[in-house]
Structure 1
Amino acid sequence: MRLEDIPRIPLGFLPTPIDAMPRLSRELGVTLSVKRDDFTGFGGGGNKVRKLEFLMADAIAKNVKVLITTGGHQSNHARMCAAAARKFGMHPVLVLRGNRPSEFQGNLLLDRLFGAELEFLDPDAYFTEIAPRMQAHADAAEARGEAAYIIPVGGATPLGSLGYVQAVKELSEQYAETGRKAPDFIVAPVGSGGTIAGLTIGVSLFWPETKVVGIAVTGSAVPFTQRIAVMANAGAKLIDVTREWQSDDIWIETDFVGPAYGVPSEAGNAAIHAAAEKEGLLLDPVYTGKAVGGLMSIIASGKIPAGSDVLFVHCGGSPALYPFTQQLVGN
């Protein structure tokens, strides 16, 4: 089946623009551009909209009434799933990693505004409890006669990854319209792996000379390279792409997580300030700030050579800025 034949329901305000970063480019010694997927619009914007276009089409076809997913307190994915559920008349259930907060700010505030049912799991118990808790919500829905649909963290499934195959197709058309050659590198944050899996498939189809680089913003029990290779292979099969990837084919930088997932890092905060002050570009402490901090570091180290043409995929997340006022600007 071709990519165009996979059921997809439009949600994002696409195509999103490509933004030049001239001042950061001069400072870093590369040509840096940003794919503004923070401007996808729906539900507050972000990269997960592209995945949800495929996942929600599947859920609607199955007459789903209860949509269940998970993430951290400041999960963009959870927030957008809640919005998508409401748009299509479904009840959103979010099982979130972290104890119940005293205040609901950032993405948590938006989750509440979308009327999501929230459950909070102790972070130390999360990885053993999350699957049975989501299944318990699904079983309860089914017992009421309501079809349930569980979306894994980040929408990281082979079907969801097709959102970023579609994104590379969109990018290739945008570059072709302006006569610009494909970038040498395309870089994105890695939280659950679905975006990088889709980019990996997409560049093989549309930009075969472009290298995909993921900057991890969290740890992973199974190495990201392994998880992403498996997901890319399964996603490719959905659209009859015969190429297969091994772990060694996937480039993930894992040194920029900082103290922990969802906890701001010094390098990430510095990148947030640099992007805001030099380009008027908003990043966030959970995802894009750490990723741009990592990108700056691997350019400085020469892993991405000076003079390269680099495209960064801005995956959104500006609502996550607001709970971190103290860490970013003090009193």
Structure 2
Amino acid sequence: MGTIVFYLINLLRYSKASTIYSGFLSIIIFVGVSLYFKVPIVEIIPLLFAQVVILLIGYSITSKKMMMERYLPPQLIGELYKENVSLEPGGKNQKVTILFSDIRSFTTISESMSAAETVSFLNEYLSLMTDIIFSQKGTLDKFIGDGIMTIFGAPIEGKDDSLRAVNTGILMNKALKEFNIKYQNIKQPIQIGIGIHTGNVIAGNIGSDKRLDYTIIGDNVNLSSRIEGLTRHYYCPLLISDSTYSELLEIDIEKNFICREVDNVRVKGKSSVVKIYEVMPFENSDEKRVVTEKKELFERGLKLYRKKEFTRAIFEFERLKDDKLSLLYIERCIKYLDNPEEHWDAIYTMKTK
């Protein structure tokens, strides 16, 4: 019994070598004790068989759970077992909402740290963000240096995947403020860009026969990454695509944010156009009134801009003081006034990622 307890402890610790060792040890001790007390062989064999079966079942279940807990929150693992969802090799087409986040200019920030300090800093940041992702039932796909790729809607699709993705982005930016207070000694406060997009992908365990990872692939994954990259260009910390925005409109619950239209963009490497929106959160009625006014003023200028009424558009954008997005559009309007384009479609084509 003692070795079985040891075996179960190693399962919980996810120590594969120790688990196998303690499993064999429990069998050897069981047989040794049985022979010492001269238990008849006919009684030992059924009990030994039952013990081996229990050990194999425990190892199989916990190994699978160990793999899933690398990227899934505990509550989602419970749902997987209830619904008997398979995570075996293979994939399927699935609609998901994808979140990409990235620390802006992290290379510059890390120059002021030692290697050990950089790793410690990143680990604490990634742990903080992972807790937020799991609290919103997101699936952690991978860390890409200081970047994070997260899936909402796989392996289990939900009706509120897009909303949980947006809430995750809001909570990540909120947590970042407290994180920066703790690390006031670094070169500059860190800022993150978050891009969110909804679309169909291929989801499943992908890899070699020696290593598999649950992930998603497809054009919509690349587009999500491109939208994250647009946060730098438009000075917006949280951008979403029109497909995610449409999903949000269908979720009939009160939200703690509003979205303002930003632009129609043709991202680098893509011929299709995507409409993007900025997510502007609020915590009370006063903040809601401020961001609502900001949205209305900006979108009024945006309509004039698309009608090529650049002078009137500049007037509207100038009413938004300290809004970097409006300043960007003022620069564009001045450019188009000085150099009119004959075939202008109000679609901005990005030259960089």
Q: Which TM-score tier does this pair reach, normalised by the shorter chain?
A: under 0.3
* Higher helix fraction (1 or 2): 2
TM-score relative to the length of structure 1? 0.25
Larger radius of gyration: 2
Higher share of residues assigned strand = 2
Q: Whose RCO is larger (CA < 8 A, sep 6+)?
A: 1
TM-score, normalised with respect to structure 2: 0.24
